[in-house]
A and B are shown apart, each in its own frame.
Chain A
Amino acid sequence: MTDPVLIGVLGFVGMFVLIGLHVPIGAAMAIAGVVAFGAISGFKPALSLFGTEASSALGNLDLVAIPLFLLMGSFASTAGLSADIYHLAHALIGHRRGGLASSTILGCAGFGAVCGSSVATAAAMTNVALPEMRKRGYRAALATGSIASGGTLGILIPPSIIMVIYALVSEQFVITLYVAAAIPSMLAVMLLLSAVAAVVRIDPAAGPAGPKSTWAERLAALRRGWGVVSLALIIFVGIYAGIFTVNEAAAIGAALAFLFAAGRRRLTLRAFVQTLAETASTTGMIYMILIGSNILTYFVTSSGMPEAMVAGIKALDAPPLMVLAVLLVAYIILGAVFEEVSAMLITMPFVLPLVVGYGYHPVWWGIIMVVVIEIGMICPPIGLNVFVVHNMTRDVPMKTIYAGIMPFLYAEFVLLAILVLFPGLTMWLPTAMGMK
């Protein structure tokens, strides 16, 4: 048995078997990758992959944006920046019917701009927005649904940690992905706001109107929100205007968020230690997977499996859109068993060449993957954001949250369809800025 493609397929089957046997995903990818690569090229070079791929991950300065953005998000939460941005949106549009749910979406979008994490955004907004919505008499479904779905904006709106991971694995520039995400992010916010509008139009009692904020209250909210607005502006303007690199933006964001938390006297020793420990734990977890993913990618590429698969699928003469539709449905189904980021990393070595083979840009596919991950964050049966909101609001049953999610899930599917059917929407800005 010396056919590299066959060995590649067996390696993949072996990896899924290991994952099924409770082997951590990073280890499963690495072990399957090394064993299969060993069968193709010999075990001495295969074993050395553990060293070369681990050292390239540990020593990769571009990857340090991941822990830095994580740190920024944690300090921003501790500093209370999520509450500030929510209260700002609340003061401006909170009085309208469904206004608090819309404020939640805008708050999530704003906080997403200083925190690249979906779950952290949902958790922060549950603390801030849910009590307000309950006080106003919002239906639990709309209140929790808007928070869980709004939280997903954290990974689509730059700076997104998942985009850093995708950029590394697909060998694209993070900055191009961030620029490409601009229009899809705005579209996502508009669609989620439309979902709120649709819900309160059908059932006005779901999100009753409230008293209008006075101009004095609005100004006070604006004054309180200067921190989060300026932090987001510094990062956005800095990255988009080319004043600093993504890594520098992450470093500056982390440092400023730390200074905000310390300056507002919210950073107790306990909170500080907790923030560092949580960031360390998440960072280590991501690196464990990335090392495994690097090894798997190396083996898959050397096996020639992607080329064989692309040739095989192209021979079917299926329209590209149909192939994409099958892939996207497969990802959403895979998301029912797998956690989506892992699914993306595991499948990337052969899916990306296929997508590129059909003439699509890897940056566009990266944005599509992030939207698919967003859907996975709220889609039953896993829906991590739903779990987060449920954990923080034990009295609201899961089925109520899932019912509340549905309008937003439809909005996400509409977003996905638009981005798939019109790739130009995503790629227009990078092309206009000469990044493509």
Chain B
Amino acid sequence: MNAIDRLERRIRGWTRAIAIVGLLGLLVISISTMVDVLLRWIANAPIKGLNDINVLAVVIVIAACLPLVVAERQNITIKFLGSAVGPRASLWLDAFGSLALLVYVAAVGWQLAVYTQELAQAGRTTWLLLLPVTPSWILATVLVLLCVPIQAVVFAVDVVRAATGTPPPAERGHDAGAGAAL
């Protein structure tokens, strides 16, 4: 299990780095928006096309957060049944939940790739600056597709844990819910 734990920890480190880069982008968006509002208010001269740039950036920022959620097992799960059926069965339920999440992220990644392909074929651009939207969506799709191998590792870890009866080292966010964040 040590090698698996090390692999999981390493994946968490990578995804954390990706998410932090994404959030730095969000910070840039917030500061540039503040400057835009100030310029609009004081000099009636907003930054031209800032909204176009933000539209492209936001897609990447949000997609950059998703691999971290998968790697850190931060998805909201209700473990009501698990506590009733005993620890071993609960581990198998965890593995089943991981499999379902793998299906979910794979399906979202696949269909986003289809969507991005359609955008590229249509040659869609932003409203004002006429910037092509495809590169942003390609990067976002890659980030979402990155969730698939990560979740596959998480699923494999859960299966091994269930088969060997090894409990997870520490609960990471499970059962917490969106309320924990809000």
Contact = CB atoms under 8 A, between A and B. Distances in A.
A55 B55 CA distance: 12
A281 B76 CA distance: 12
A267 to B, nearest CB: 11
B53 to A, nearest CB: 11
Interface stretch (A170-178, A244-252, A310-318, A419-427): A244-252
Interface string B112-145: 1011000000000000000000000100100010
B97 A22 contact: yes
A67 B81 contact: no
Contact of A55 (B61, B75, B112): B112
Q: Please tell me the size bucket of the interface on A.
A: 35 or more
Contacts of B144: 54
Contact of A30 (B31, B37, B104): B104
A64 B59 CA distance: 10
Contacts of A258: 27, 30-31
B58 A280 contact: no
Contacts of B37: 243-244, 248, 252
A71 B115 contact: no
Interface residues of B, number: 67
A376 interface: yes
Interface class of chain A by DSSP: helix
Interface in A234-265: 243-244, 247-248, 250-252, 254-256, 258
Contacts of B104: 24, 26-27, 30-31, 292
Interface in A329-346: 337-342
Nearest to B54: A61
Nearest to B172: A281
B30 A281 contact: no
Interface of B: 16, 19-20, 22-24, 26-27, 29-31, 33-34, 36-37, 41, 51, 54-55, 58-59, 61-69, 72, 74-82, 90, 93-94, 96-97, 100-101, 103-104, 107-108, 110-112, 114-115, 137, 140, 144, 173, 176-182
Given A64-B61, A251-B29, A285-B173, 15 more contacts: A21-B100, A51-B115, A55-B115, A71-B23, A71-B26, A116-B182, A162-B182, A250-B30, A254-B30, A280-B23, A283-B65, A284-B65, A284-B67, A285-B76, A288-B66
